[in-house]
Amino acid sequence: MNLPNKLTVFRIILIPVFILLLALPLNWGQLTGLGTTIPTRHLAAAIVFIVASLTDLLDGKIARAQHLVTNFGKFADPLADKMIVMTAFIFLVALKLAPAWVVSIIVCRELAVTGLRLLIVEQNGQVMAAAMPGKIKTTTQMLAIIFLLLHDVFFAMIHIPFGAIMLYICLFFTIYSGADYFIQNRHVFSDSSKE
């Protein structure tokens, strides 16, 4: 197994760690400072999420630079990304840090675009590349998750709800990029065989 695939597997292993940190009724206390109070388990979960996000950044760069792209990587890398992001958003709703309606739209879009990607691979034999709106969506998703878990650390003292701002920017790019993917690839839904 090459290094990018090992990083992907490591990211998948981090998902149950992330879940346990937020699901178990642990009370490790709280950290206060920088204008906010952060439950220690939220901080630990945020660190796990940051590590997972960094491995996502690294594995793709290494795979492309060293020509180590594999079928396992094509399958597992986006799956690992979706799994940890959706898990994080679901927990943010449970922790009352994000509105359920926003997370529902994000999850539905992720599932729809994943289905579209599968259809494109089946019809054309090629993977749909991420466009710039999708990359902005992913970046704002990760920032929203991190700063919501960290209760807007650094921004709370100047009363800026940075996590919520990133969440709504993410929502905009979630809808925009999802619509863009479907419009750009609408040909996959046309009947190719006319009898």
Q: What's the CATH code of the domain at 156? A: 1.20.120.1760
Residue 193 resides in a domain: no
The C-alpha atoms of residue 116 and residue 128 are separated, in whole angstroms, by 9
Residue 86 resides in a domain: yes
Cβ proximity of 174 and 109 under 8 Å: yes
- The encoded tokens of residue 188 equal 């996959």
The C-alpha atoms of residue 7 and residue 11 are separated, in whole angstroms, by 6
Q: How many domains does the chain have?
A: 1
- The encoded tokens of residue 136 equal 């902005």
Residue 195 resides in a domain: no
Residue 105 resides in a domain: yes
For the stretch 96-129, pLDDT in tens is 999 999 999 999 999 998 888 878 877 776 666 6
Range of the domain at 63: 3-186
For the stretch 141-161, pLDDT in tens is 999 999 999 999 989 889 999
Residue 87 resides in a domain: yes
pLDDT of residue 127: 65
Phi then psi dihedrals of residue 39, to 5 deg: -60, 135
Helices then strands, counting H and E runs in the chain, come out as 6, 2
Strand 36-39 versus strand 30-33 pairing type: antiparallel
For the stretch 21-79, pLDDT in tens is 999 887 788 888 878 889 999 999 999 999 999 998 888 788 788 888 777 777 788 88
Q: Whole-model pTM?
A: 0.88
Residue 34 resides in a domain: yes
Place of tokens 């950290």: 31
Q: What integer is the mean pLDDT of 73-91? A: 89
Q: Among 10, 39, 5, which Cα is nearest to 22's?
A: 39
Residue 17 resides in a domain: yes
Residue 191 resides in a domain: no
pLDDT of residue 118: 79
pLDDT of residue 130: 66
